[in-house]
């Protein structure tokens, strides 16, 4: 279950708010991003996010060591920390 957000973009899209923060992500990607956020929130384990394979669950390194990501598209990702059964620091980032 999502416990915290790291940026307003992810938080506003999750809650369906069309704010200036949410508009950072192109509008055509909002539905996909919201579905991924809902999947993350409902996932009983990290392995649950491996399905469908299109999510492209990845463990990150470098500045994001300890974080995981799923892809919205080739440019945008939902990045988060998984601890136990909870999810923290959820963010939507332009990863390039």
In the predicted model, residues of the chain with pLDDT beneath 70 are none
Percent of the chain with pLDDT over 90: 93
From CA 5, how far away is CA 1, in angstroms rounded? Answer: 12
Q: Which residue has the tokens 């915290």?
A: 4
From CA 81, how far away is CA 71, in angstroms rounded? Answer: 15
From CA 81, how far away is CA 15, in angstroms rounded? Answer: 19
* CATH numbers and ranges of domains, the chain: 8-94 (3.30.2310.20)
- Contact status, residue 9 vs residue 92, Cβ threshold 8 Å: yes
What's the distance, CA 25 to chain centroid? 12
The reported pTM is 0.93
Cβ neighbour number for residue 91 with a 10 Å cutoff:
19
- Contact status, residue 50 vs residue 6, Cβ threshold 8 Å: no
């Amino acid at each position: 279950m999502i416990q915290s957000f790291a940026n307003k973009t992810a938080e506003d899209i999750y809650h369906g708010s069309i704010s200036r923060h949410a508009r950072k992500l192109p509008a055509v990607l909002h539905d996909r991003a919201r579905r991924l956020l809902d999947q993350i929130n409902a996932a009983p384990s990290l392995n649950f996010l491996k399905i469908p394979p299109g999510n492209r669950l990845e463990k990150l390194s470098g500045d994001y060591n300890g974080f995981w990501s799923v892809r919205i598209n080739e440019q945008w990702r939902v990045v988060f920390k998984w601890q136990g059964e909870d999810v923290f620091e959820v963010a939507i980032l332009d990863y390039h």
